[in-house]
């Protein structure tokens, strides 16, 4: 527990000033975190997918390319560039022909890399764009993620009795989900109402925040399922007491992806 608390303090001290500064420091941090996330996915998948070093390098370069698309825009518009997607598919699937060896690089490997690169690239690009547009909106998303995770853990330990998804994450409980969602909504919606838009409909704001909180917890379970599939407890031991980068950013990634679906409602 001491390691967990100390790591949380260090992460907070490093992350908050960069978040407040924004601009290039925040972009660099998001690209670094995305790269570490991809590294963790590739290392986690080693038992079933041992990717060639050249394809790993290509994947990192593509990830950096996607993360830095439209980062100079201050408009809150999210669009999908099919040219970028086509480039990713070509670069990660066409090498199958040149390797001509399923043991070195096969279609499963290629599709895994496409999914990982697009998933992480789009997610962290969204976080960068959201920060460029409005500091308070990304704080809103961070609060939902952090408060929900924290109180889901606390509530689960104190009163958790009914398992949520025991085959995926044995420690998560229905009580934890309810407690985490309740506190995430109270803190998140209150912050949005006070600092972002006091004229927003409270009922819609609460509903949207509930959805984001629940999606974040479901995202946590998705990442837990990935670890289960590859027989891993954590994605890495990069952050003492917490695990890896993806163990900390799993819910925020899904919250960011869900936010673009509902941002126009608020």
Give first-to-last CA distance, the chain, whole Å.
38
Three-state DSSP class for 200?
coil
The kind and range of the H/E element at 163 are: strand 163-165
- Taken as a whole, the chain contains a residue count of 266
Strand partners, 165: 169
183 contacts 148 by C-beta, under 8 angstroms: yes
Provide the pLDDT for residue 2: 66
Query: CA 111 to CA 99: how far, in whole Å?
Result: 15
The DSSP secondary-structure symbol of 100 reads -
Provide the pLDDT for residue 82: 82
The kind and range of the H/E element at 173 are: strand 169-173
The kind and range of the H/E element at 13 are: helix 2-21
Provide the pLDDT for residue 50: 83
Residue 165 sits at φ, ψ, to 5 deg, of -140, 75
Q: Render each residue's pLDDT in the chain as its tens digit; 266 residues.
A: 667 678 778 888 899 999 999 999 999 999 999 999 999 999 999 878 789 999 999 999 999 999 998 877 666 666 667 888 899 999 999 999 999 888 899 999 999 999 999 999 999 999 999 999 899 999 999 999 999 999 999 999 999 889 999 889 888 999 999 999 999 999 999 999 999 999 999 999 999 999 999 999 999 999 999 999 998 888 988 887 778 999 999 999 999 999 999 988 88
Query: CA 117 to CA 68: how far, in whole Å?
Result: 13
Of 112, 133, 114, 134, residue with least CA distance to 122: 114
Query: CA 94 to CA 143: how far, in whole Å?
Result: 42
Provide the pLDDT for residue 78: 65
Provide the pLDDT for residue 84: 83
| 72-101 CB burial, b ≥16 within 10 A, e <16 | eeeeeeeeeeeebeeebeebbeebbeebee
The structure's pTM equals: 0.91
239 contacts 245 by C-beta, under 8 angstroms: yes
Provide the pLDDT for residue 75: 63
Provide the pLDDT for residue 181: 97
Provide the pLDDT for residue 76: 64
Region class of 23: left (phi > 0), else alpha (psi between -120 and 50), else beta: left
Three-state DSSP class for 168?
coil
Domain positions in the chain are: 21-133, 135-266
């Amino acid at each position: 527990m001491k390691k967990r608390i100390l790591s949380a303090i260090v992460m907070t001290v490093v992350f908050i000033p960069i978040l407040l500064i924004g601009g290039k420091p925040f972009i660099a941090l998001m690209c670094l975190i995305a790269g570490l996330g991809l590294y963790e996915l590739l290392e986690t998948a080693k038992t079933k997918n041992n990717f060639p070093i050249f394809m790993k390098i290509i994947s990192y370069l593509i990830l950096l390319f996607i993360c830095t698309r439209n980062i100079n825009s201050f408009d809150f518009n999210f669009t999908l560039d099919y040219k970028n997607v086509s480039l990713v598919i070509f670069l990660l699937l066409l090498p199958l022909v040149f390797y001509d060896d399923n043991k070195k690089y096969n279609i499963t490997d290629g599709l895994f890399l496409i999914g990982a690169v697009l998933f992480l690239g789009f997610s962290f690009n969204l976080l960068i764009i959201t920060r460029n547009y409005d500091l308070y909106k990304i704080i809103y998303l961070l609060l939902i993620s952090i408060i929900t995770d924290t109180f889901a853990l606390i509530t689960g330990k104190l009163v958790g009795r009914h398992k949520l998804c025991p085959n995926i994450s044995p420690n998560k409980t229905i009580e934890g989900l309810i407690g985490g969602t309740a506190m995430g909504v109270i803190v998140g919606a209150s912050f949005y109402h006070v600092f972002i838009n006091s004229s927003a409909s409270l009922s819609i704001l609460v509903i949207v925040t509930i959805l984001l909180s629940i999606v974040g917890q479901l995202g946590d379970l998705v990442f837990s399922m990935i670890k289960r599939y590859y027989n891993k407890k954590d994605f890495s031991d990069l952050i003492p007491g917490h695990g890896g980068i993806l163990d900390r950013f799993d819910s925020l990634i899904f919250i960011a992806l869900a936010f673009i679906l509902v941002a126009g409602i608020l």
